[in-house]
Structure formats: structure tokens, C-alpha cells
Structure 1
Amino acid sequence: MHLPSSSPRHPSVRRTLVCAVHIAIGLLATAATAADNGMPQPARIVTDDVVYDHSQVEWSEAYLQWVATFARGNSPVSDTTGALCAAKQEGDVWFLATSDGTGPVERSCTIPNGKTLFVPLATTVERSGNKEPVCESMARLASGSLTHVSQLTMTIDGVAVDNMPSHRIPTGDCFALGARQFPPSRAKTAVADGWYVMLAPLSAGPHTIVVNARYDSTPLSTTYHLDVR
């Protein structure tokens, strides 16, 4: 069994809409069966381009801005237990951080009911530093860095997410990486590229999300044991 997914960044056609209806009916039937059996309901991938008044590109930027508010070595990316899962999270969308590549990571987190989850799989960021940003060339560099990434996989409660390449979200233009820092920096000097999956609020109870990738020869593995309540 695989979780269906589709790109939110392409025009819909009639055949796609028909397929979407059948998928939705199948998911509803599966959810009803799971509820009857007392099992967690299956996760639903959000493919809408705009979620809570922000595009998925903007959510990818917001994730990186969130990470940038932490000191290196003491951030959700380097967290090995899940102690920082709720740190500086706010609003209707919560982020689940990737790992720093130093080894397989397992995190245990409590997630409030009703939170949409934005899950990065692998990301690259290019910064101009003190130089005047040349966003187009930086975007090419960020895109080129993704050629080092392979073997992207994601499972949610043991169910694999299909068609991982469709979940790529390049920012394209520059954005302010330090917008959430103190004092905030509004300078648009960063470009990013990568793969992300947005999940509708999970049903109450335990869930397990596993993300794997490789950056050249370095394996990246993050397991989230979530308790939604």
C-alpha cells in the first residue's frame, strides 16, 4: 500500500479530478475501517498549493527561518531525542526537522491535536553572505546540490509515500533567512531547494514517521514517534 501524492504546482485536468475523487473515497473507506478497529486513521498528504494563506514555497522558507532561530548544535536539526520538537513552534502548522547527518536519529514528540505537519526530507540552502545576492545563479547552485541526494523514502505508520520527486519545492527567488531571528533580518540573501511533504492533522494517538535519504555516501535517517493529543 502506498500513500497517493500529486504535485500541487501543475494545472488539474478532468482525468486527474476523477482520480482524486476515487482516491478520496478510498481514503474515507480506509479511515472508517481503521476507526472501527481502533487503529490510527491513515495520513493524508496535502497537495494544495496554498495552505493557511501561505504557499508551500513560503512554508519551506518558514521552516528554514525557524531552524535559523536556533544556535548551531542546539537546534531541532541536531536534536537526538525530540526535546526540541515544540520549541518556537506556533500557529496551525508545525515543522518536523531533518537530522544533521551525524547518524540515525529517533525523536519522540507530543503534537497538539489539529496541527498540520510540514516535513522536510532533504534541503539545500545557498547564501550570499555580505555580497549582493544574485538569486538566479544561487538557485542554480541550490538545485545542483540536490544531485548529491538519492534514495529518498518516507513512510507514515508503515505506509510508503509515493512519487517522492513530485514533492520538490525550490524557492526560486531569494528570501530572508533571518526573518525570525532577533533582531530580525529582512535582507533577502538566501535561496533554497529540496523535498517536503505536508500532512493534514493526524488522528489522535501514536504515529511513526520515518524519513530516509543519502547525501553522497552519508545516510540521513530520522524517525519520529509522535503522540497526537
Structure 2
Amino acid sequence: MKIISSPKISLILIGSIIVCSCYPMVSAQLVEQIAAPDTNPQGSSYGEWASKWWQWVYSIPQDENPLYDETGAKCAVKQVGSVWFLVGTFGGSITRECTIPSNTSLFFPLLNTECSIAGGDGKTEEELKTCAKANIDRAISTDLTIDGKKMENLADYRAQSQLYNITLPANNIMGVSPQTTSSIAEGYWIFINPLSAGKHEIKFGGQAGDLTVASNMNFATQSIYNLIVK
């Protein structure tokens, strides 16, 4: 979720894929399943969904937060409406199992960040935008596989939000006192239209930094969701 942008710890969301031009028909099928980045799926742009994703994830205390869930048991926490959010990891690979209602869309980041006043990332909207852009500019790969089919052209799915507010409860994952603060989100996001009933596997993630050198600024993670739609 947040790429490391300063001495403080940040988060990121990621997965794994090798883009291969030998699957042109597969990519075409996935494009039909995934909402185009310049559209407004279910009435909101990708940037607006990004702010909603962060508002959701930051509203959940750490002990109930899906980001700390190693099995998928908490994937339904505070999920409402016809769009559910998926999360990644704080680094490394994880596999989760999750049951979602039929006719439910999914929204999640392949690699993303947010910059907020409470997080010490800036004091003005322009400073927060600059921070978010600089963090995502460090991305070196983004990956997505759905039911064994690899998605191409993921660079098209980069989006930045407008300024929005997040409300942080007690024991929040930012590790600050409860408060409401302003934030800007940016990243590579995916909106998947409702999947058919049955079992599905989604892998997503990416990498940031320069993996040819040792640095605590480097980050790589993969999330695998085994979904049951019913």
C-alpha cells in the first residue's frame, strides 16, 4: 500500500506476472472482464475508487484489518455494497481464501501508495500529490493473473485520486493518534466486473526500487486469492 518514501514505514500492494506476447487472445478476454482505466465503473473513476479503498482500509483497526490477515478469514470485514476490496501484503507472498457474494465486483491495487498530512508526507494538496507521484514513479513492475491468464498493458491502469479525507480509529495501521486527515492516493489499480459463480484464483502485485542493489527502499510482494463466488 505505501511505498517507503521517508524514514517511516510505508505500505505497498503487489503480485506476480510475466507479460508474454504469446497470449494475445488471453489478454483480450481479460480486458473484457476488467473495467477500462478511463471509465467510471459503477459510477466512480479509478481515482475515486482508490480514495474509497484507502478510506476503507484505514477505517479498520489493526487487530481486525485484512492487511494483517494471513488466511483470508477477515476478507469480509466492513465490505458493503456491490464492490469488495482486496488487499496485498507488507512484503513477501501470501495466499488467502475468501468467499464473496455473486454479482460482486472487485477493486484492488497492484502497487499503490498514499501520502497524508498525518503521515508527515506534506501539508498542502500539491505536496501530497508530488509525494504520491514520486512514490509510484519508483515502481519497476506490476503483475496480474486471473485464473491462470496473464494481463498485459498494466501501465495503463495508473491513477491518482483527488484530495480526500481518511478517518483513523484507535489502534489504526498508520500508528498515529485517532484523527481525520487529508490524503492523496496513487497507484496501479484494477476493477474486475463480477466473476462467474464458482472458484477463481487471482494473483496480483509488483516491485518497487532497484532490486539489483541491497536497500531497505526496495519492495516486492505477491498476493494470491483463492475466491469462491456464490
Normalising to structure 1: TM-score of the pair? Answer: 0.74
Q: Sequence identity, in percent?
A: 28
1:207 maps to which of 192, 200, 207? 200
1:66 maps to which of 51, 56, 81? 56
Unmatched 5+ residue regions in structure 2? 1-22, 171-177, 210-217
Taking only aligned residues, the RMSD between alpha carbons, in angstroms, comes to 2.6
Which amino acid is 1:85 matched to?
A: C
* Contact 2:59/2:166, CA 8 A, preserved across alignment: no
Deviation at 1:150, TM superposition (A): 1.9
Distance (whole Å) between structure 1 residues aligned to residue 103 and residue 53 of structure 2: 19
The correspondence of residues 175-214 of structure 1 with structure 2, limited to 5 A, is 175-178=164-167, 189-214=182-207
Task: Please list the CA deviations of residues 52-71 of structure 1 after superposition, one character each: whole Å capped at 9, or x if unmatched.
Answer: 22222211111111101112
Task: Please list the CA deviations of residues 141-196 of structure 1 after superposition, one character each: whole Å capped at 9, or x if unmatched.
Answer: 1110113322211000011111111011111x3101229x69xx995611111011
1:109 aligns with 2:109: no
Distance (whole Å) between structure 2 residues aligned to residue 80 and residue 142 of structure 1: 27
Which amino acid is 2:131 matched to?
A: L
Distance (whole Å) between structure 2 residues aligned to residue 166 and residue 219 of structure 1: 20
Q: Secondary structure at the match of 1:220?
A: strand
Distance (whole Å) between structure 2 residues aligned to residue 85 and residue 165 of structure 1: 27
Task: Please list the CA deviations of residues 64-86 of structure 1 after superposition, one character each: whole Å capped at 9, or x if unmatched.
Answer: 11101112364112211101111
The correspondence of residues 1-229 of structure 1 with structure 2, limited to 5 A, is 1=23, 3-4=26-27, 27=29, 44-47=33-36, 49-72=39-62, 74-101=64-91, 103-129=92-118, 133-171=123-161, 173-178=162-167, 189-216=182-209, 217-229=218-230
Task: Please list the CA deviations of residues 19-76 of structure 1 after superposition, one character each: whole Å capped at 9, or x if unmatched.
Answer: xxxx6xxx5xxxxxxxxxxxxx997011162222222221111111110111236411
Higher relative contact order (CA 8 A, sep 6+): 2
Label 1:164 to 1:42 Cα distance change in 2 as closer, same or farther (>3 A).
Answer: closer
* Contact 1:43/1:156, CA 8 A, preserved across alignment: no
* Contact 1:67/1:75, CA 8 A, preserved across alignment: yes
Distance (whole Å) between structure 2 residues aligned to residue 43 and residue 201 of structure 1: 11
Distance (whole Å) between structure 1 residues aligned to residue 155 and residue 100 of structure 2: 27
Greater Rg over alpha carbons, structure: 1
- Give the length in aligned residue pairs: 190
Q: Secondary structure at the match of 1:90?
A: coil
Which amino acid is 2:145 matched to?
A: T
Distance (whole Å) between structure 1 residues aligned to residue 108 and residue 119 of structure 2: 30
Which amino acid is 1:220 matched to?
A: T
Unmatched 5+ residue regions in structure 1? 5-22, 28-40
Deviation at 1:226, TM superposition (A): 0.4
